[in-house]
């Protein structure tokens, strides 16, 4: 059985699909595809079915040469059971995930993404949605750092 990671942000069009695709990029480089599987979701249902934000896609392509794939979906209660580790981009997402876990059965599976950073000292991945290009590039840097640490941990 593969180890399953779920990346969660608010709308599932910026931070979480970027994290999912960056992790897949790292898994590719280490030939771990199939052993670790990634998905992403949003706590809100605003963008269901939408592709990743174009600005995030451009940042990922320019910084890492990767294409962001996926379409937005909303986090489901069943995700708590289905995934081995659920990574929230910020504290608000973290709380929103735990709301689905009424009995506290899965809370140890839910972690903050930035807990896996080694180069960045931020505690949350900032939402770049209302900002400029620099914000999207910064998020890619944070996520690359966090995904690298996460991969070491999961391996």
Half-sphere exposure in the Cβ direction for 78 (13 Å, CA): 1
Please determine, for residue 93, whether its predicted confidence score (pLDDT) is greater than 90: yes
Q: From the CA atom positions of the chain, what is the Rg in Å?
A: 14
Residue 141 is a catalytic residue:
no
Residue 69 is a catalytic residue:
no
Active-site position among 9, 14, 114, 117:
9
Active-site position among 14, 15, 55, 117:
15
Rounded to an integer, the average pLDDT of 73-79 is: 97
- Position 33 scores a pLDDT of 85
Please determine, for residue 7, whether its predicted confidence score (pLDDT) is greater than 90: yes
The domain tally of the chain equals: 1
Mean pLDDT computed over every residue of the chain: 97
- Position 42 scores a pLDDT of 98
Residue 9 is a catalytic residue:
yes
Please determine, for residue 144, whether its predicted confidence score (pLDDT) is greater than 90: yes
Please determine, for residue 117, whether its predicted confidence score (pLDDT) is greater than 90: yes
Residue 64: Cβ within 10 Å count: 16
- Position 75 scores a pLDDT of 98
Phi then psi for residue 53, to 5 deg, are: -55, 135
- Position 95 scores a pLDDT of 97
DSSP 41-93: EESS-TTTTPPPPHHHHHHHHHHH---------B--HHHHHH-SEEEESSHHH
Q: What is the pTM of this model?
A: 0.98
pLDDT tens for 14-55 read 999 999 999 999 999 999 989 999 999 999 999 999 999 999
Residue 6: pLDDT band (50, 70, 90) is: very high
* CATH number of the domain within which 115 lies: 3.40.50.2300
- Position 110 scores a pLDDT of 98
Domain hosting residue 140, numbered range: 3-154
């Amino acid at each position: 059985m593969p180890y399953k990671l779920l990346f969660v942000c608010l709308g599932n069009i910026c931070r979480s699909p970027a994290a999912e695709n960056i992790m897949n990029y790292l898994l590719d480089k280490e030939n771990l595809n199939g052993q670790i599987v990634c998905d992403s979701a949003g706590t809100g249902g605003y963008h269901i079915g939408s592709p990743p934000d174009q600005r995030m896609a451009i940042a990922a392509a320019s910084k890492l040469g990767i294409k962001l794939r996926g379409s937005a979906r909303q986090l489901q209660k069943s995700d708590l059971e289905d995934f081995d580790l659920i990574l929230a981009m910020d504290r608000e997402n973290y709380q929103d995930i735990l709301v689905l876990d009424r009995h506290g059965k899965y809370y140890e599976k839910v972690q903050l993404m930035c807990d896996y950073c080694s180069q960045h000292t931020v505690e949350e991945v900032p939402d770049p949605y209302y900002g400029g290009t620099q914000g999207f590039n910064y998020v890619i840097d944070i996520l690359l750092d966090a995904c690298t640490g996460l991969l070491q941990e999961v391996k």
